[in-house]
């Protein structure tokens, strides 16, 4: 699957709720997991809008080898704060320190098992889920900053033109 990058309109749309839990959705989960794991750099989270599908569906690697696919995820409760470095497969090579909740309570539907799930997440796992849910709402991690000085670039990476335009308005 192709990962859409900064500037593509699908990344700014609020994704629609998943209504149909069928074989097609299971296949989408599996393709998203493969895309996330085989991306360079390797991803630990991916939202359906990042692959051009405007649905409230995310994949997350909780820890190495433990993969989740979550439909219609929502954060019910937050606690504490943490600041750490984030990147995004849709903005390759661009990083920044982002403030997020340290602990969250999440409710979602596991589309593979077709059951409701509720769980707590902390630390890095919490950060990844919050980042991916932001994607479902058309929010990118760069939206948390007022100017380009907060962003760090990997070697040989240029800031996307669309991102420069966003900050020059």
Question: Residue ranges of the domains in the chain?
Answer: 9-167
Catalytic-role residue among 24, 132, 152, 155: 132
Contacts of 154 (CB under 8 A, 6+ apart): 92, 93, 94, 95
Q: Is 161 a catalytic residue?
A: no
SS3 at position 71: strand
Res. 156 pLDDT band, cuts 50 70 90: confident
89 has a pLDDT exceeding 80? yes
Q: Is the Cβ–Cβ distance between 159 and 132 less than 8 Å?
A: no
The answer, as to whether pTM is greater than 0.85, is yes
169 has a pLDDT exceeding 70? no
Q: What are the counts of helices (DSSP H) followed by strands (DSSP E) for the chain?
A: 3, 6
Structure tokens belonging to residue 113? 């098992």
Task: Look up the CATH superfamily of 9-167.
Answer: Peptide deformylase (3.90.45.10)
């Amino acid at each position: 699957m192709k990962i859409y990058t900064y500037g593509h309109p699908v990344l700014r749309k609020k994704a629609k709720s998943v209504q149909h839990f069928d074989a097609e959705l299971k296949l989408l989960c599996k393709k998203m997991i493969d895309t996330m794991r085989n991306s360079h750099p390797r991803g630990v989270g991916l939202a359906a809008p990042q692959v051009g599908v405007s649905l409230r569906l995310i994949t997350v690697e909780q820890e190495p080898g433990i993969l989740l696919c979550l439909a219609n995820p929502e954060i019910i409760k937050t606690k504490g704060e943490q600041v750490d470095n984030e990147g995004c497969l849709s903005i390759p090579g661009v990083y920044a320190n982002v403030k997020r909740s340290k602990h969250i309570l999440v409710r979602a539907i596991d589309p593979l098992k077709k059951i409701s799930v509720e769980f707590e997440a902390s630390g890095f796992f919490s950060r990844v889920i919050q980042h991916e849910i932001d994607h479902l709402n058309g929010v990118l991690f760069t939206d948390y900053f007022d100017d380009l000085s907060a962003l760090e670039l990997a070697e040989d990476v240029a800031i996307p033109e669309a991102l420069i335009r966003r900050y020059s308005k």
